[in-house]
Amino acid sequence: MRARGMWPRHAALLVVCAIMLVPFYWVVKTSLTGENIYAYPPRLLPQAPHLFNYVDVWYLIPFPRYLLNSVIVSLLAVGGNIVLNALAAYALTRAFPGRRWVVLLLLSCMLIPFQATIIPAYLITARLGLLNSWLGLALPMLSTIVCIFVFKAAFEAVPRSLIDAARMDGLGDLRILARVLLPLCKPAIATNVILSFIWSWNNFMWPLIVTRDPLMQTLPLGLARFLSYVEDTTGALYAFVVMVLVPGLAVFLMAQKEFMRGLTAGATKG
């Protein structure tokens, strides 16, 4: 009885999933197709599929360089997020005068979208002499308020007695953080890693503003630049799209539980 009542739901969800997946299929199909992607009518299946568009992307545009830049900036952002957020969150779990104000300050900072501050942010980065540099690309993303609260919630869930016992053993704050709290808060670390990775990997506007040198461009910028260079005329553009999407998708699928939890935690805290 129940199972029979379920099939309309399955049908509806299958339609939804088809709509969500078809654009992916269309792009992958185009990236595998040979010379003329403009032939009408387009074929639903790739004709004589081959992978050479991907080889073209690798060699004919500085893809390895874009990849290197993206990876370095993402690593900086991920590393910065783990260290800085863990430190800040640990501090916030302790009682200190003005704690309420710091929390309030962080919460109100969350309301300031980064896009609302791009012009002075650019000018500040220029004053610091960090335009066209990896550090300049990563600096605004080194710490994220959402992720601080993810860590804070995880630290608060650790039994107080454990921390007190560690303190009795003479461990300092840094040791308590590194040896006791972080090993117990692996899901929070995973959330931090995946959120900061996805955000910095996908970030477009900030790199667009602070890099003028083509050698310092990250993958999204390279993609936009390639688009303006070849327009929509070659299957290689779509191969580029797929190559850029795959790392993000892979990381997301590896840790989707942590990712979704981080998003909902971050969203509900705001």
User: Which of the residues 167 through 186 are near other proteins (CB under 8 A)?
Assistant: 173, 179-180, 183-184
Stretch that binds other proteins, among 48-56, 71-79, 152-160 (CB under 8 A): 48-56
Q: Rule CB under 8 A: which of 228-257 touch other proteins?
A: 230, 232, 234, 236-238, 241, 244-245, 248-250, 252-256
Binding residue count for other proteins, defined by CB under 8 A: 108
CA 94, CA 195: separation in Å to the nearest integer?
25
CA distances 212 to 121, 124, 131, 132, 253, Å, are: 16, 16, 8, 6, 33
Question: Can you tell me which of 67, 121, 153, 158 binds other proteins, judged by CB under 8 A?
Answer: 121
Does residue 10 belong to the site contacting other proteins (CB under 8 A)?
yes
CB of 73 to other proteins, least distance (A): 13
CB of 215 to other proteins, least distance (A): 19
Does residue 103 belong to the site contacting other proteins (CB under 8 A)?
no
Give the largest Cα separation in the chain, rounded. 76
At position 68, the amino acid (one-letter code) is L
* Burial (0-12, 13-18, 19+ Cβ within 10 Å), 12: exposed
Cβ within 8 Å of residue 263, ≥6 positions away:
195
By beta-carbon proximity to other proteins, the closer residue of 83 and 215 is: 83
Q: Which helix (H) or strand (E) holds 263?
A: helix 256-269
Cβ within 8 Å of residue 253, ≥6 positions away:
none
Q: Rule CB under 8 A: which of 56-95 touch other proteins?
A: 56, 59-60, 83-85, 87-88, 90-92, 94
Over the window 193 to 232, marking each residue x when it contacts other proteins by CB under 8 A and - when it does not, the resulting string is x----x--xx-xx---x---------xx--xx--x--x-x
Does residue 145 belong to the site contacting other proteins (CB under 8 A)?
yes
Residue showing tokens 């955000």 = 199
DSSP 215: G
By beta-carbon proximity to other proteins, the closer residue of 129 and 204 is: 204
